[in-house]
C-alpha cells in the first residue's frame, strides 16, 4: 500500500499531475500486478523478477524490453518507474489528440513518445543514433542462430542506408520517425487495460 499511496501523493487516490497518461483504475490494477511480480515483497522490482515471466523470456527482445525499465544503469525499479514505462502504451484517446496544452509536458503516450520508446530499443548505447553495429546486434537478438552473419549484415546495411538522410551512417531519431511517418503507431504500440 505504501508505494501506491506515496506515488499518488494523497492516500485517497487523486492521480498526480505528472501522471496524466494512466487512469486511476488502471493504476490500481498495475499496482496489483507490480506486487504480484515483486516476489520477495521488497517494494521494488529487479531484473530477475521480470525475467521470471515465462512468456517474456521466450520473447527474442525480452532482454531489451527489461532494460527499458532500468535506465541509467540502475538495478531496481519502483512502482513509479514501472508505471511510467507502461504509461507509454496507453491508447491515445480520440478527443484531444494534438490539442493538448503546450505548457503541459507531452503525455507519455503521445505518438512521438511511443516512437521514442521503440527507438531506444534499437539504440543500445543511448547516444541518440542507431549505428550499423547496433542494428546488427538487435537483429541478431531477433533471429538468434537462424540467419548467417553475411545475410544479417546486408540487411543491416540496407536498412541504415534507406533511413539515413544526412549520410552520417547512422539513423537518428528524426530519420527514424520520418521512415515510420505513415505507420499507425497509436494502435500498434497500445495496450488497452480492461475496466
Partner 1 sequence: MFLLLPFDSLIVNLLGISLTVLFTLLLVFIIVPAIFGVSFGIRKLYMKTLLKIFAWATLRMQRGAKEKNHQLYKPYTNGIIAKDPTSLEEEIKEIRRSGSSKALDNTPDFELSDIFYFCRKGMETIMDDEVTKRFSAEELESWNLLSRTNYNFQYISLRLTVLWGLGVLIRYCFLLPLRIALAFTGISLLVVGTTMVGYVPHGRKKNLLLVNLSQSQHRVSSRVNMKVLTYYRKPRKNRPRNGGICVANHTSPIDVIILASDGYYAMVGQVHGGLMGVIQRAMVKACPHVWFERSEVKDRHLVAKRLTEHVKDKSKLPILIFPEGTCINNTSVMMFKKGSFEIGATVYPVAIKYDPQFGDAFWNSSKYGMVTYLLRMMTSWAIVCSVWYLPPMTRETNEDAVQFANRVKSAIARQGGLVDLLWDGGLKREKVKDTFKEEQQKLYSKMIVGNHEDRSRS
Nearer CB in complex with partner 1: 12/75: 12
3 counts as binding partner 1 under rule CB under 8 A: no
User: Following CA atoms 33, 114, 158, 167 in sequence, which dihedral angle do they give, to the nearest 10 degrees?
Assistant: -140
**How far is C-alpha 22 from the geometric centre of its chain's CA atoms?**
15
Q: What cell does 2 get?
A: 505504501
Number of residues that bind partner 1 (CB under 8 A): 60
* Nearest distance, CB of residue 33 and partner 1, angstroms: 6
118 counts as binding partner 1 under rule CB under 8 A: yes
174 counts as binding partner 1 under rule CB under 8 A: no
188 counts as binding partner 1 under rule CB under 8 A: yes
* Nearest distance, CB of residue 92 and partner 1, angstroms: 14
CB distance 181 to 174 below 8 Å: no
Q: What cell does 61 get?
A: 527482445
Nearer CB in complex with partner 1: 9/100: 9
In 3-state terms, what secondary structure has residue 101?
A: coil
The 10 Å Cβ neighbour count of residue 16 is 11
Nearer CB in complex with partner 1: 30/170: 30
29 counts as binding partner 1 under rule CB under 8 A: yes
CB distance 8 to 15 below 8 Å: yes
The 10 Å Cβ neighbour count of residue 105 is 11
Nearer CB in complex with partner 1: 104/168: 168
The DSSP bridge partners found for residue 172 are: 129
Instruction: Catalog residues that contact partner 1 under the rule CB under 8 A.
Output: 12-13, 24-25, 28-30, 32-33, 36-37, 50-62, 65, 86, 89, 117-118, 121-122, 138-139, 142-147, 151, 155, 158-159, 163, 171, 176, 179-180, 182-185, 187-194
Amino acid at each position: 500500500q505504501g508505494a501506491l499511496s506515496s506515488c499518488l501523493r494523497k492516500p485517497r487516490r487523486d492521480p498526480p499531475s505528472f501522471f496524466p497518461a494512466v487512469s486511476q483504475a488502471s493504476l490500481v490494477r498495475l499496482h496489483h500486478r507490480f506486487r504480484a511480480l515483486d516476489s520477495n515483497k521488497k517494494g521494488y522490482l529487479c531484473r530477475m523478477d521480470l525475467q521470471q515471466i515465462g512468456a517474456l523470456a521466450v520473447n527474442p527482445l525480452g532482454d531489451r524490453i527489461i532494460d527499458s525499465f532500468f535506465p541509467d544503469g540502475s538495478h531496481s525499479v519502483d512502482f513509479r518507474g514501472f508505471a511510467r514505462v507502461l504509461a507509454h502504451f496507453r491508447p491515445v484517446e480520440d478527443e484531444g489528440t494534438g490539442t493538448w496544452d503546450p505548457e503541459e509536458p507531452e503525455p507519455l503516450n503521445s505518438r512521438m513518445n511511443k516512437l521514442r520508446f521503440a527507438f531506444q530499443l534499437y539504440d543500445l548505447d543511448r547516444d541518440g543514433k542507431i549505428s550499423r553495429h547496433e542494428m546488427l546486434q538487435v537483429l541478431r537478438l531477433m533471429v538468434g542462430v537462424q540467419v548467417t552473419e553475411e545475410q544479417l549484415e546486408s540487411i543491416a546495411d540496407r536498412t541504415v542506408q534507406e533511413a539515413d538522410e544526412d549520410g552520417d551512417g547512422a539513423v537518428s531519431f528524426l530519420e527514424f520517425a520520418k521512415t515510420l511517418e505513415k505507420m499507425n503507431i497509436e494502435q500498434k504500440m497500445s495496450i488497452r487495460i480492461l475496466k
